[in-house]
Structure 1
Amino acid sequence: MRRLAGLLVVPLLLLSTAACGGDDKGSDSASMKNGLPAITAGEKFGEKPTLSKGEGDPPKELKVNVISEGKGAVTKKGDALQVNYLGQAWDSDKPFDNSFDRGQPFDLTLGAGQVIKGWDQGLEGQKVGSRIEIGIPPELGYGAQGQGDIKPNATLVFVVDILKAVTIPKSATGTPVAQEDKDLPKVGTNTDGKAPSLTVPKTDPPTKLVSNYVLESKGEPVKATDTVVVNYVAALWKDGKVFDSTYTTGKPANFPLPQLTLKGLKDGLVGKKIGSRVLIVAPPSEAFGDQEKQGIPKNSTLVFAVDILTKM
């Protein structure tokens, strides 16, 4: 996401940059297994692992070890994945990040560039329920610039448990709902995967949150604890100008609702059915109030057309 990225709390590790890769053998020793650092404790799927320090030269290309193979579906580009992970640098025996301690799995869309390239490549083609270990050279990680505690040109090692994979529909579907209020924006009802039209009327905006179906599906209602995968168009009421859209990149966004800080957007999604298209109008009190945020003027009423594609 461009401007709405600031509405989420995202683990530092998985903010991506970098380039491409393959496979290499590395060196084996008592603390190594198939060319990658050995898991010294917590080897089973679901357990928090510990890793030994890498020995010898790190792999120059992407290397993936399957620690234990699951029995679920094979992951593919475009799937919404939920994983647990632990990561550390090749030359360290201390992790720089892990989701096990947070007690909150991490959600991503595979191949959408939401994570470092070594993740997108290493996770593709693996079975749900698998634990894998990935060795990632710098050009598939954070390269020469590094990231936070990760040094420049660091080779990274991850243990990843693949918890879930969901195929993401291209569009919301369902029964069109009449949009009869002339004082509210109108949203297109196309289901071809392209951005719906969004037309804002030249009237005063509502002073309370609006959350209306445009297309109503028969899916289950969204809960406040869910992570939903969405496509959206976001505009300013004042002039109808679109300030953000997932359709420009062709990549849906993951919204972990407990971490979504824009109250009107979160409240507008909760209770709506998975698979539906929703119009949400968030007045300033439900948006950014009297604060300018990421180029959005203060006291702005925000308008969203959101396809709730699936949930994790």
Structure 2
Amino acid sequence: MRRLAGLIVVPLLLLSTAACGSDGGSDSTSSKNGLPAISSGAKFGQKPTLDKGEGTPPKELKVDVLSKGDGATVKKGDAIQVNYLGQSWDSDKPFDNSFDRKQPFDLTVGAGMVIKGWDQGLEGQKVGSRVELGIPPELGYGAQGQGDIKPNSTLVFVVDILKATQVPASAKGTAVAQDNTDLPKVGTNDDGKEPTVTVPKSDPPKKLVSNYVLESNGEAVKDSDTVVLNYAAYIWKDRKQFDSTYKTGRTQTFPLPQLTLKGLKTGIVGKKVGSRVLIVIPPDQAFGNQEQQGIPKNSTLVFAVDILAKV
């Protein structure tokens, strides 16, 4: 089964009103858990500079709360937004950071979107907190490494938790009549299970379709939003499913400004958070005359999308 996660521009970390963090502390700080010290930029919101690790790196996950926020506690399944800086234990140069990009990073905690050390280390922390994570190789990139990260590297991250949003299991709302027999029919279950999608044998529409299946009373999605979705995706011609977040058990977080599948973005923008939407994407707003991840060229795509939350 093909996955569409590659249709957004993502930082190295990927395989999402913030309470104010403590603004106390000096320009440098030392960790209580033997993690590298921050030599400058120690306050929440500042880009930190990390010293090189000293001595033997930790063999287990280490979490140090450098400043504790007063926001909600992050739970598994929450969509969160963070800023971060990461470097290897034996280096004093970062391999990645979001501060320079001026673009916070969005993820769903516990969904397997990021390395295990992040999923485990951020759960239970409070919004507005700055935490430092010491991540052993088995909870990072392991023996294979990643990019500039050497195999079997212990990683160190400083993470500012900016926002957290609880993600429901399913779209809910008023069922909208699906009386056009030339369009796919989508199930209206709201139990968190994958809805059925029945694609007709007629020719596909030549223009983009974006219709409510379940219409909530949530806020309308803007093209600048980051949204958390569950979806099932099909090729119209052979009616075969090529992607499903339900099958993997993981929602997908899409920053819409970075989403490169035009028809999916257009079909979501303007729809209400909490709704289920049928989106039919003609080839000129999908992949055109190029094969993509095994999807044949000139394919019309069908999506049943639950817009679960926006971050």
Which range, TM-score by smaller chain? over 0.9
For the residues of structure 2 that align with 1:43 and 1:153, how far apart are their CA atoms?
Answer: 28
Q: Specify the alignment match of 2:199 in structure 1.
A: 200
2:31 is aligned with 1:33? yes
2:200 is aligned with 1:183? no
Query: Which amino acid in structure 2 is aligned with residue 181 of structure 1?
Result: N
User: Is 1:275–1:310's contact at 8 Å kept on the other side of the alignment?
Assistant: yes
2:69 is aligned with 1:70? yes
Secondary structure of 1:132's counterpart equals strand
Q: Specify the alignment match of 1:248 in structure 2.
A: 247
Report matched runs for 1:232-311 at 5 Å: 232-311=231-310
User: Is 2:31–2:66's contact at 8 Å kept on the other side of the alignment?
Assistant: no
Query: Which amino acid in structure 2 is aligned with residue 4 of structure 1?
Result: L
Query: Which amino acid in structure 2 is aligned with residue 10 of structure 1?
Result: V
For the residues of structure 2 that align with 1:224 and 1:14, how far apart are their CA atoms?
Answer: 22
Q: Specify the alignment match of 2:90 in structure 1.
A: 91
Gaps of 5+ in 1: 16-29
1:197 deviates by 0.7
Report matched runs for 1:49-64 at 5 Å: 49-64=48-63
2:10 is aligned with 1:10? yes
Secondary structure of 1:36's counterpart equals coil
- Aligned pair in 2 of structure 1 residues 31, 108: CA closer, same or farther (>3 Å)? closer
1:14 deviates by 2.6
Query: Which amino acid in structure 1 is aligned with residue 94 of structure 2?
Result: P
Runs of 4 or more, structure 1, over 4 Å off, are none
User: Is 1:32–1:54's contact at 8 Å kept on the other side of the alignment?
Assistant: no
- Aligned pair in 2 of structure 1 residues 78, 31: CA closer, same or farther (>3 Å)? closer
Report matched runs for 1:106-125 at 5 Å: 106-125=105-124
Q: TM-score, normalised by structure 1?
A: 0.94
User: Is 1:31–1:52's contact at 8 Å kept on the other side of the alignment?
Assistant: no
For the residues of structure 1 that align with 2:148 and 2:54, how far apart are their CA atoms?
Answer: 21
Secondary structure of 1:84's counterpart equals strand
For the residues of structure 1 that align with 2:202 and 2:116, how far apart are their CA atoms?
Answer: 46
User: Is 1:31–1:53's contact at 8 Å kept on the other side of the alignment?
Assistant: no
For the residues of structure 1 that align with 2:186 and 2:31, how far apart are their CA atoms?
Answer: 55
2:75 is aligned with 1:81? no
Q: TM-score, normalised by structure 2?
A: 0.94
Secondary structure of 2:95's counterpart equals strand
For the residues of structure 2 that align with 1:143 and 1:266, how far apart are their CA atoms?
Answer: 35
1:294 deviates by 0.2
Superposed CA deviations along residues 100-130 of structure 1, whole A, max 9, x for unmatched, are 1111111111111111111111101101110
Secondary structure of 1:235's counterpart equals strand
1:170 deviates by 0.6
For the residues of structure 1 that align with 2:211 and 2:14, how far apart are their CA atoms?
Answer: 34
1:93 deviates by 0.7
For the residues of structure 2 that align with 1:65 and 1:14, how far apart are their CA atoms?
Answer: 22
